[in-house]
Amino acid sequence: MRYTPLSLIGEHFLRGFTILFLSFIAIRLNLCLSSIPSSLKALPLEGHFNFDEVSLNHAAKDFGNRYQYHPMAVLYPESVSDIAATIKHIWNMGPSSHLTVAARGHGHSLQGQAQAHGGVVINMEKLKVPEMQVYAGDSPYVDVSGGELWINILHETLRYGLTPRSWTDYLHLTVGGTLSNAGVSGQAFRHGPQISNVQQLEIVTGTGEVVNCSEEQNEELFHSVLGGLGQFGIITRARILLEPAPSMVKWIRVLYSDFTTFTRDQEQLISAENAFDYIEGFVIINRTGLLNNWRSSFNPQDPVQASHFNSDGRTLFCLELEVEKHLSHLNYIPSTLFLTEVTYVDFLDRVHVSEVKLRSKGLWDVPHPWLNLFIPKSKVHNFAEVVFGNILTETSNGPVLIYPVNRSKWDNRTSVVIPEEDVFYLVAFLTSAVPSSNGTNGLEHIISQNKRILEYCERAHLGAKQYLAHYNTQEDWRVHFGPKWEAFQQRKHVYDPLAILAPGQRIFQKPITLS
């Protein structure tokens, strides 16, 4: 008779027990998953859920076109209570449920930030209540839905001769989406980002509670949500500050061949009183094309477009301004001055015009591995020397923006992380990974280039911070937030203790327990 060693018996028993235990978990999980759609369908809502493949596929895509995480359901809300009821339902399910919730606006996220794998995506563009209401007077403002597009706000406020004070370059984005990040463009040096121009918010927290907040009421939640990457609540209503709107603007572009002169002029302009309303710069290396200039309307007189202007292989820097004043103090290349007069709407919505052209050529729905950085003023010359001199060899696959902003226009109580210096630069590599025969401008090449830029910033201790940041580990996020991390983590514990909201940011993971 042969005897089996006790250790081998124990090993077989342990293996069998493990298989049984895992099978039990799988069965429990499948049972839970199968019951979730029915529990969502049973919710008394004014809107509705969609579970079909078309809806799920749409919710799993974004402008970045690199990550696709399919949800279990898509909510089309007709009221704020629809959103609150859904989140409260998932909150009441507790940590035994895997469900998370992501608010999706116009889908302009870059790396799946508005997606919820196996969870619920809320289509915020369907939320149209309360109706947009403009209040004119000494301190004008507009009340809007968190799912409203900025372009629609512009058209409505212009009926009263008014306009929001701060914009992004692209207006076909939702209010909740840009306020959850910051909202930066050429007006930020004067008025600050969009999050500096908000008076009140209505928020649905991670427990399903609807909260009104401002600097005077629920101040902690108000500042948490602004630039909070969707971690503390979903913005369902916002009160945006307005100012008188011009009907026409003077649009100026000039070129520089010297980076020091280029930055000196920009810094002089943002420190001047009432000199310009809009200031942005961008970089031109080697050659240009449709992708390089998608931010601007085309004009044969424009020095960036003009075939007669020869860069002689130099790296050039273009300064883009709105309103013609104090040009005599600028030190641009005299022969490159381009000035035109356009309507205020045409100027602000110029990117959309180029979007239509790019779509017609199949160059819009491609991967967009964008990289956005805040660089301290004291380090921007080091950055330019290495990045524009060595790492970046051409800019034909997308524009590279670079312009300064004043830190005094940003509120440090919000969740946004910016450099400590009084002036810092936004540097945005807005690349498109278009199909290429030799692969030199392909996705992997751009990702590798972005990695080299980030590695240089870290190696050289530039104090740079990512805007629209993307990290895969909580430790990386901890480093990103630095001294703000403790407060950020505490706010999460208060307003979304089960980490239900915005899982696509990959900052916190929902704890799951089997009951």
Q: How far is CA 5 from CA 18, 83, 278, in A?
A: 20, 60, 81
Q: What is the DSSP letter of 400?
A: E
Structure tokens at 506: 């990959």
H/E segment holding residue 31: helix 6-41
Of these residues, 82, 125, 148, 169, which one is catalytic?
Answer: 169
Q: Which residues contact 18 (CB under 8 A, 6 or more apart)?
A: none
Torsion, CA 8, CA 14, CA 20, CA 23, rounded to 10: -110
Q: Is the separation of the CB atoms in 279 and 320 below 8 Å?
A: yes
Q: What is the DSSP letter of 96?
A: G
- 232 sits in the region (left: phi over 0; alpha: psi -120 to 50; else beta) called alpha
Cα–Cα distance, 227 to 32 (Å, whole number): 34
Q: Is the dihedral of CA 171, 174, 179, 180 positive or negative?
A: negative
Of these residues, 62, 82, 106, 108, which one is catalytic?
Answer: 108
- What 3-state DSSP class applies to 102? strand
Of these residues, 280, 302, 320, 322, which one is catalytic?
Answer: 280
Q: Is the separation of the CB atoms in 257 and 333 below 8 Å?
A: yes
Residue 344: count of CB within 10 angstroms of its CB: 16
Torsion, CA 96, CA 180, CA 171, CA 236, rounded to 10: 60
Cα–Cα distance, 350 to 495 (Å, whole number): 38
Give Dmax (Cα) for the chain.
105
The answer to whether 381 is a known catalytic residue is: no
Instruction: Measure CA of the first residue to CA of the last residue in the chain; give whole Å.
Output: 46
Q: How far is CA 110 from CA 124, 203, 335, in A?
A: 17, 24, 38
The answer to whether 312 is a known catalytic residue is: no
- What 3-state DSSP class applies to 348? helix
Q: What share of the chain is helix, strand, coil (3-state, %, to 5)?
A: 35, 20, 45
The answer to whether 280 is a known catalytic residue is: yes
Cα–Cα distance, 72 to 78 (Å, whole number): 20
Helices 474-481, 485-495: axis angle to 10 degrees equals 120
Q: Which residues are catalytic?
A: 108, 169, 280
